[in-house]
Amino acid sequence: MGYTKGLLEREAELGHPVRVGVVGAGQMGAGLIAQICRTPGMTVTAVADIVLDKATEALRNAGTDDVLAAGDDLDAARAGLAAGRAVAITDGLQMPELDIDIVLEVSGVPEIAAQIAYTCIAHGTDVALMTVEADITVGVLLSRMANAGGSVYTVCRGDEPVECLKLVEYAQDLGMKVVCVGKGKNNPNKPHSVPSDNLAEAERKRMNPRMLTEFTDGTKTQLEMTALSNATGFPIEVEGMHGPECNLADLATTLIPRADGGILDGEGPVVEYVTGDVAPGVFAIVKSESDVVTHELDYLKLGTGPYYLFYRPWHIASIEAPLSIGEAILNRRSDFQSHHVTTEVVARAKSDLEPGITLEGMGGDHYYGWAVPAETAREQNLIPIGLLGRCTLKAPKQADEFIGYDDVEVDETRPLVAMRRLQDALVKNGMI
């Protein structure tokens, strides 16, 4: 059954569509609000943003005329919803206290996203995240909490990690062995790229320079593939991944074991990325282990076995996110959760850094992300990149040097730090 049919049946039964509360009304949030309001069987009834005008404008641009700007007045917001009005509020942490069915987080800030998710789960409210940076930091904890309590926690469809996972599930359902899964990156890594290098391109693309830098310095790819690693349990083969330049036509002959002419040391499965003409697509390289199936796949022109490419040529995050709302509401299932602590994204200095500086967040001047096995991060006491922003550097760092817990002052009162400490304790005691 498609989501549309189920959602419309639900609306007819309950007398109202799925009521979505959105946290974050920036460029992506505004686009998602418009998309949800066009999706049969669901609508946005509440939007939270610290800039109240952005929240009200996003609702009105999506075709909602009767909007109450409630600000931080929770009682007024409740009354507005009860009267059938859409409401705009300033505090996203209040969202699960309103009469809504699911919260969609689009803040883009891991500290906020994690708090939103935690608060929703504590209230028994379903929550869907667009900020993968939060999931790679505390996603295993959030998943365990939600699953134990009966609410749904999910990362949304449309972003590469989730669409990669769907290819893995498809391949496994067909009885194929997954050898390698990953994404195409649309530009080569420039790990020392800083926002000032990207001002012109950011203006052209109407992006925040720091957000663009998170892509150009490779951090975003490391984050996304780490999320995929922790959802599947598939490791990376080398720190930072191979990241070869490889076009679509060569994927099924490159991302396979060396013994068969590829670049992988082992038999897989592993997580990887490539540059070339693959972006914005995602891929899975699979192996047929049956001569009969191999013959059939060759006959059907899927390639020349035993290795084959499963490929999805797009990901459209702001358009596909409502699919995860349908899955959560109708089927009570998550599209994507981190179940393993397999890989960690840690930080390497972009340039020589002196003690005393307050480190910027991801996409800034100070560090770039690098994926390493989680065991390596623990052995070397490396700090997860999601915790590093706003920390004070205590020790000098040379360019490309890793940054560890001992190198920084960490504010233990930050909620994200507390959540991560709890997750680490659960891992250490074998509870995750």
Could you tell me if 307 and 285 are in contact, meaning their C-beta atoms sit under 8 angstroms apart? yes
* Helix, strand, coil fractions of the chain, as percent rounded to 5: 45, 20, 35
Mean pLDDT in order along the chain per 10 residues (432 residues): 92 98 95 96 98 97 96 97 98 97 96 97 97 97 96 97 98 97 91 94 88 94 98 98 96 97 97 96 97 95 95 93 97 97 98 97 96 98 96 97 98 96 93 81
Sorted by sequence, the CB contacts under 8 Å of residue 379 that are 6+ apart come out as: none
Give Cα 407 to chain centroid, integer Å: 27
Do the strands 153-155 and 102-105 form a parallel or antiparallel pair, or are they unpaired?
Answer: unpaired
pLDDT value of residue 33: 97
Write out the residue limits of the CATH 3.90.1210 domain(s) in the chain. Answer: 344-428
Give Cα 280 to chain centroid, integer Å: 15
Respond yes or no on whether the N-terminal peptide bond of residue 373 is cis (omega within 30° of 0).
no
pLDDT value of residue 138: 98
Burial 245-256 (b: 16+ CB within 10 A, else e): ebebebbbbbbb
Q: What is the CATH number of domain 3-156+318-331?
A: 3.40.50.720
Sorted by sequence, the CB contacts under 8 Å of residue 381 that are 6+ apart come out as: 404, 405, 406
Q: What is the CATH number of domain 344-428?
A: 3.90.1210
259 burial (CB, 10 Å; 0-12 / 13-18 / 19+) is exposed
Q: What are phi and psi of 82, to 5 degrees?
A: -65, -30
Q: How far apart are CA 210 and CA 218, in angstroms?
A: 12
Could you tell me if 300 and 77 are in contact, meaning their C-beta atoms sit under 8 angstroms apart? no
Sign of the torsion formed by the C-alpha atoms of 274, 279, 284 and 285: negative
**Distance between terminal CA atoms of the chain?**
34
Could you tell me if 360 and 197 are in contact, meaning their C-beta atoms sit under 8 angstroms apart? no
Sorted by sequence, the CB contacts under 8 Å of residue 331 that are 6+ apart come out as: none
pLDDT value of residue 341: 96
Put residue 42 in one of left, alpha, beta given phi > 0 → left and psi -120 to 50 → alpha: beta
> Residue 346 forms beta bridges with which residues?
370, 384
pLDDT value of residue 1: 55
How many other C-beta atoms are found inside a 10 Å radius of the C-beta of residue 262?
A: 21
Give residue 89's identity as a one-letter amino acid code: I
Q: How far apart are CA 305 and CA 180, in angstroms?
A: 15
At 337, is the secondary structure helix, strand, or coil?
coil
pLDDT value of residue 409: 97
pLDDT value of residue 113: 97
At 309, is the secondary structure helix, strand, or coil?
strand
Write out the residue limits of the CATH 3.40.50.720 domain(s) in the chain. Answer: 3-156+318-331
